[in-house]
Structure 1
Amino acid sequence: MKPADRGASLPGRAELRSYDAVFVTGSPLHLYEETPETRREVDLMRAVFNAGVPSFGSCAGLQVATVAAGGVVRPSRNGREAGFARRITLTEAGHRHPLLAGRPASFDAPAFHSDEVETLPEGGTLLAFNTVTAVQAVEIRHGAGVFWGVQYHPELDLYEVAGALRRQCEDLVSEGYASSPEALETYASMVDALHQAPDRKDLAWVLGLNEQVTEVDCRLTELRNFIRFVIKGW
């Protein structure tokens, strides 16, 4: 389903309930902008909540669910996270929540976003944060539905991170994240090389990454936990 596309028709309750789960992915749209595209995305998420279908979202997916349930999204106050979100820290609730089972108390993860959750909706529980972004992982209970979401991207591997860095080169240089396009390319090339050889300690050391990012089983923790929970039943 691509609800943001012009002419897209939203599925009815019966159709939504035929799904075991719904995944809401990243998006270049800004949820604080009132446009037909953002309204269609929010309307679909409200329908998912009302249908009682369990859902998971990363990055903009978290923001869509937040707005659909009555919360607020804004431009990031501390600037964008580009490449990796560092030192994501579990809250007390996060330590107990099955979404983050297997994660250490603090970890890094692939991340690209310039917007953030300002206010969680009623029924939202903060599960993780860091010094850049106050809302990194949440559970939202709204209507008949339950949503688990993260602001980072557990689904992205290092090859995709390197590609996204290159696509955002102009913005990252202009905002001071890299001193020049050449410096950005050097960094992206190291990320790419670590994807090709995840056991290279020299690259992991320079990039400040560990197994939470370089090992597939660790990086996919939240997705695996959500799927396991859906299979076991809510």
Structure 2
Amino acid sequence: MSNLNILIVEGNIREDSEFFIKAAGASAADNLRNLILKIDPSTNAEIINPGHDDETSNAIKNMSKYNGIIFTGGAMRINDMTDVIKKHINFASNCFNQNKKILAICWGLQVCTTAAGGKANPGKNGAHIGIASDVIINNEGHKHFIYKDKKDKFTTPAFNFDEVSELPKNATLLSSDKVNNVMGMSFKVGNSEITGLQYHPDYEYYQMINLIAGRKERLFKNKNFLNEEEYQKHISYIKAENELLNFEDRTCEVRNWLNYIK
């Protein structure tokens, strides 16, 4: 087969992308493209932003050339339902009609869920601040390609305040943790097959620590941390987990998806 052509859908507006670049070294889409090229240097990965109408219309027009689509994470929240968020949801809906395999990460999962008739809301059990601990793959998850060679229980980079609160019709839950029931799921809608992850195989822990530092004031204001000691303890925990995680384990899902669409 010829080289893969992937469409990466940026999940941030310009202001948030600038924050990601400063804190994590790259925009969400560029960070993901960098990972894909590490896994498979022959891949062609194009980036669009659904907030830009010319980019989305051009992508829809040329959709036949893409082997798959990835919706990245981002800092927006579905319940704000701004005009830009509506554009993200509308683009996902258009993609569903294109007979595509889609990987939806974090914000991308929430966008695709909403576009498919499910719901995303603020997490009932709190948030993942840079890390998700003890994610458990269920029986359906063990059968799914996305978790091939993945440990039954794993800890991973994650950063989200919202969660999928209602699965789309006929969706299959693949994994969960104590914070979010939906950590991994899959569903078919229109002509497309979507695999969604509520965590970040595309980010490293040091990037998460930098993102946390950049949001520190807001995290204290929202009482995600009650004091400096609690904050520092959390950072130390992430640093300790970083010593236990290797590239192959962290990026397993992205690699499995790329192999699946070949």
TM-score w.r.t. length of structure 2: 0.75
3-state SS, counterpart of residue 164 of structure 2? strand
- CA–CA distance in structure 1, aligned partners of residues 208 and 216 of structure 2: 12
Aligned length: 214
Q: Pick one of 60, 72, 75 that aligns with 1:28.
A: 75
1:223 and 2:254 are equivalent in the alignment: yes
Q: % of aligned pairs identical?
A: 26
- CA–CA distance in structure 2, aligned partners of residues 187 and 63 of structure 1: 26
The answer (yes or no) to whether the contact 2:49–2:56 under 8 Å persists in 1 is no
3-state SS, counterpart of residue 47 of structure 1? helix
- CA–CA distance in structure 1, aligned partners of residues 51 and 89 of structure 2: 9
Q: CA deviation at 1:176?
A: 4.2
- CA–CA distance in structure 2, aligned partners of residues 32 and 190 of structure 1: 31
What residue in structure 2 maps to residue 93 of structure 1? 140
**Residues 29-178 of structure 1 aligned to structure 2 (within 5 Å):** 29-174=76-221, 175-177=223-225
- CA–CA distance in structure 2, aligned partners of residues 80 and 103 of structure 1: 23
Residues 185, 4 of structure 1: alpha-carbon distance in 2 compared, 3 angstrom cutoff: farther
Q: CA deviation at 1:183?
A: 6.1
Residues 177, 6 of structure 1: alpha-carbon distance in 2 compared, 3 angstrom cutoff: farther
- CA–CA distance in structure 2, aligned partners of residues 5 and 30 of structure 1: 18
The answer (yes or no) to whether the contact 2:56–2:91 under 8 Å persists in 1 is no
Q: Deviations over 1:141-169 (max 9, x none)?
A: 10000011100001001221111111121
Pairwise CA RMSD of aligned residues?
Answer: 2.1
Task: Give the residue type in structure 1 aligned to 2:120.
Answer: V
Structure 1 residues not aligned, in runs of 5+: 195-203
Q: CA deviation at 1:20?
A: 1.2
